[in-house]
Copies of this chain bind each other. A is one copy, B any other.
């Protein structure tokens, strides 16, 4: 039995097979690159799972042994089965962390957890993005500079249709005139959710040191806390705590 944080990196894994320009940047898939840099940390162990595996690679056994799930999807959100989304949601509410990247904003699991459309504006012009830390005491801001640049990105602009975050850690500036809430953190049930905007299948964003730092920080933040309550899917009927008497 290990004390390490067990991370499962999930990838739709379609772009890398069909688009040479994606495979050139991510020869082992985006999931491969993320698992690689996370695995360099002594306190983290990783595995990967992809859409086309049975049960999308997210069997009961895998989910039960995952502390933090990282989600990348883009083209095939609709192919993710609702019964798997149901299971992932319950696992999160029971304590697992979820980290959603970039185009995963439109994944079924993120929309399910948020209860909103998770829609936004977008533009592909290869423009510059500057990401500012706006909650410098948050664990996910550890080791970062005040701001850092992603030289070429796909723009995501407000309004981002998400619930008000429990913590707003990053805000983005884009060359073209937009802003975006780029790093947003939530508690949900016993679990945690973090959405991080940067990332693109044809830009080498997941090789950038600051991006790797953020995702590593987020994994540690999202790891389960051994707190009370279990099986939040039920509403139990209870007696009064022993020392109290209910009467008129």
| A positions within 8 Å CB-CB of B | 89, 93, 95, 106, 112-117, 119-123, 125-128, 130, 132-139, 141-147, 149, 152, 157-161, 163-164, 166-168, 171-179, 181, 186-192, 224-229, 232-241, 243-244, 246-248
The answer for the CA separation of A176 and B238 in the assembled complex, in Å, is 10
- Which of A95, A181, A232: most chain B CB closer than 10 A? A232
Flag if B167 contacts A166 (CB, 8 Å). yes
Flag if A138 contacts B187 (CB, 8 Å). yes
Give the number of times this chain occurs in the complex, counting copies. Answer: 4
Contact partners of A168 in chain B: CB under 8 A: 164, 168
Flag if A136 contacts B229 (CB, 8 Å). yes
Q: Which of B159, B163, B167, B234 contacts A133 (CB 8 A)?
A: B159
Flag if B123 contacts A237 (CB, 8 Å). yes
Contact partners of A233 in chain B: CB under 8 A: 117, 119
Contact partners of A139 in chain B: CB under 8 A: 225
CB distance from A242 to the nearest CB of B (A): 9
Do A177 and B130 form a contact, CB below 8 Å, given A123-B237, A232-B119?
yes
Flag if A189 contacts B117 (CB, 8 Å). yes
The answer for the CA separation of A114 and B89 in the assembled complex, in Å, is 12
Flag if B93 contacts A161 (CB, 8 Å). yes
Contact partners of A145 in chain B: CB under 8 A: 228
Q: Which of B132, B163, B232, B238 contacts A161 (CB 8 A)?
A: B232
Do A177 and B240 form a contact, CB below 8 Å, given A93-B116, A164-B167?
yes
